[in-house]
Amino acid sequence: MTIGNDRGRLLTAVYQVGASPRLREIPAVDIVRRVWFQNYLSDGLQLHWHQVDNIPPAAKCISSPYDLEAHHARQHTTQWVGYKVQITDTCEDD
């Protein structure tokens, strides 16, 4: 929870009245904000992890801060963060 609390303080400072609006325009700040909200809930006093039944939909979650379009995927017992690609191959000459 230490990391969550630190990020919460950072976001509070960036979004408080009187903070430079330019800070909110930094792409990394928006990524931190989105990741923080997808993982944590605050009741005003304490920070909590999202419960299993209250996790945001996977399509809205950031799986990798380095590639915002990559998502968690699973096929049978294999899991990864990235992309799914459908490849079709034919044996035709043309």
Express each pLDDT in 18-47 by its tens digit.
888 888 888 888 888 888 778 777 776 777
Q: Other C-beta atoms within 10 Å of 68: how many?
A: 13
Angle between the 27-39 and 2-15 helix axes, to the nearest 10 degrees?
130
Mean pLDDT confidence for 40-68: 76
Backbone torsions φ then ψ of 45, nearest 5 degrees? -115, -35
Q: Is the pTM of this model over 0.75?
A: no
Q: Which residues pair with 78 in a beta bridge?
A: 75
